[in-house]
Chains A and B, each alone.
Chain A
Amino acid sequence: MSVSARVGLGSAVRRAAFTPAIGRNQIALRTAILKRGVQTQSLPPSASQEILNAQRLKRPSSPHFTIYQPQLTWISSIANRATGGALSALLYGFSLAYLVAPGTFDSAHIIEFVAGLPEYLKYAGKVVLAAPFAFHFWNGLRHLSWDMGKFLSLKAAYRAGYAVLGVSAVTTVALVLM
């Protein structure tokens, strides 16, 4: 008794050691049932791809896109793509609409519709169309000059980027007032 208390094994060992023989089997049975066995499942090797993809979906990723400091380099790059995509979507949308319904989308109807709009809406529409076009045009020239090997240093890329922003603003104003 004193030995088990000093070693610190506690009451469980004392109970197990001093129970009568009839009770000992019950304790062994109870521990066997309470302990859960490891369950395995047999899978073919082809299932590994699905398991891997399921695990990959659960993996966390650190913030990257949400924390990168806005800079002229990547902002102008994604703006070039976004403006190009928007203008092309407009072209595609109009062409497909004309193909599907030439009676509704022919030039006479469109010009008539635009002419009937209030003045402020016409100006707003012109700004919305001219600004992306101007930026994409001038930034496109900046991109082509990179392709020819010019303005490739960071300083030069920034200077060209600011120049593009300035010239785009002037061009937008010129186009809107036309």
Chain B
Amino acid sequence: MEEEMHTDAKIRAEIGTGCSPRGPGCSLRHFACEQNLLSRPDGSASFLQGDTSVLAGVYGPAEVKVSKEIFNKATLEVILRPKIGLPGVAEKSRERLIRNTCEAVVLGTLHPRTSITVVLQVVSNAGSLLACCLNAACMALVDAGVPMRALFCGVTCALDSDGTLVLDPTSKQEKEARAVLTFALDSVERKLLMSSTKGLYSDSELQQCLAAAQAASQHVFRFYRESLQRRYSKS
């Protein structure tokens, strides 16, 4: 009888499905999200974009070491673990980008002298890793109940040699592209929170990519809304 109750308890995780299937031009891969799947962290989420999958856990607001405490706001820490090997410089730089995005959105002044830690584990990497990490971090922060002033999402664009824009590229498309741009956008006015770009592109192409990312972020935010509504409808 005890086993029955435990299996019922496991059905609390939600799986949501994303938007249209991949076609030529601008469309996102299939995405899915699961919340509250880990028992130890205060909030957790797993975000899937095509074959790229990232697991995020959030602890906070929790105790902070005196050396790291900030007197008037929360100390936000992001830890990114790659799938294989030890974390290196690339992970450090991604951690910094994700941390800056989260700090812009999380209301740290409500919890001074505490720490909010986001731990991200790459489960599989098939392109658009940074965007997937951002989405997973956002869902995990919402699951943990950390106060935020808006939601945020990550969108990746790749520009190939003839200038065609591909949203949410796979690793093969990223390798062949001449520029890969990742943007973090907020949910209130689709403002740009963070941008990380690699490669060669012109000013007008940057504006085009940003506009395409803003349009695509709508799908992501709609998906967030649907998956959160589904989660709360069960209670």
The finding on whether chains A and B are genuine partners in a shared complex, rather than unrelated, reads no
